[in-house]
Structure 1
Amino acid sequence: MSDEYGDWLEEEGEEEPRPRDEQTDRAKAELLERIQSFDRVYYVQQLQVLHERSFFHWITGRALRELIAEGQINAFSQELSAGVPIRLIVRRSYRHWKREGQRVLELVRRYSQGAFARALGPFGEIVVDAAFASAGVRLLGRDVRSIEGRAWTATDHNLDRAYELDGVRYGVEVKNTLKYIDDRELTVKLEICRALALRPLFVVRMMPKTWAWPRVIRQGRDRCGFGL
């Protein structure tokens, strides 16, 4: 089973303690309003995605941790499969949540099975290939680790695609997942693009602007990348 839904309340994207962010308090208020409004079972990653236009995932995770610690909402630890945890979130007055909670778990299990999860990545790549081909973008290669005498040998990573348009070559990574791209993976993919003299292009469901702007887009005139 994929760990796509393994959603303990980790500080995704944060590396060290920082001064309190007022966004955390805003997130707590919005989350509490949503959770307290209905007898409904949520899970952490679901809430992170529902609120991601307003808050980074790690802000939502921190806000949920504080609400749980303060006793304002209830959280119940469950397992999707061995070693893949998930937390169900409900309002405190929802006492008979277990039946709905089981339905939520079964639904998440169904869509996080290995075969389904593995199909998401290739499907995203097929969509990108078709869209770029219709725009006249030339495909240079798949699972790219080398191109015209340049090679990436530092790790076993590769780029999903390399394309060329109007004489400019792009290294493309496609991420069709609920979670953000892993921070370390993002760093490696950017390094591969530099090694192969490709401009980075990330086609993702969502990427924090604090990553996209300084690390992908703002790379200088000849190295700037793009996010779609």
Structure 2
Amino acid sequence: MDSQLPRMLGVATAETLYMTSVAALLVLLAGVPLGVLLVITDRGGLWERPALNRVLGALVNVGRSIPFIILMVAIVPLTRLLVGTTIGTTAAIVPLVVAAIPFMGRIVEQSLREVEHGLVEAAIAMGSTHRRVIFQVLIPEALPSLVRGTAIMVISLLGYSAMAGAVGGGGLGDLAVKYGYMRFRTDVMVGCLAVLLVLVQFVQWFGDVLASRFEPAGARTSR
């Protein structure tokens, strides 16, 4: 069994990376537009729609308030509808995405709200359309914060994926429960924890490095 541990850790790590990377991509595709909508539909926003903003805000708050383990069970019919099963790494991606979209939406919202309002007003005064303001002012100016927020989201997905594995989703969580906890294998538990620790540290380091590349030169030199 000891000689098989590296191979088992390798397979479980690959499954965790698959779940996390696919889920992160889908979360970005949905979470970024959601965050933009939360900003531009607010009072004083580029596309002021208070009623829509309240609805979106309420949905985000509800999504963030549901514990992940409960969410997994609650959306079992949706998971089965989308992927045809509720067990395995692919099935685990569905609740991962549903859980992380509201979280990412709030991250994007907070990042965009940090952009100086004067820059937006200047762009509008120069005749920029709302689309150009969003893609040429808001998002570029908020990019360092968005990158760091994305790193936080990916780290959260790693934690969620471990919980998903504990209930049949595969990955490091599944290995830790089946071979570590149930078979009293301390070495398996330690190995899974070590791999997760390395993954989290790498994601945080890479996010910080990438974010610093998008910071203004003055901000980089002053740090």
Which is richer in strand? 1
TM-score by length of 2: 0.24
* Greater fraction helix: 2
Q: Provide the TM-score with structure 1 as the length reference.
A: 0.24
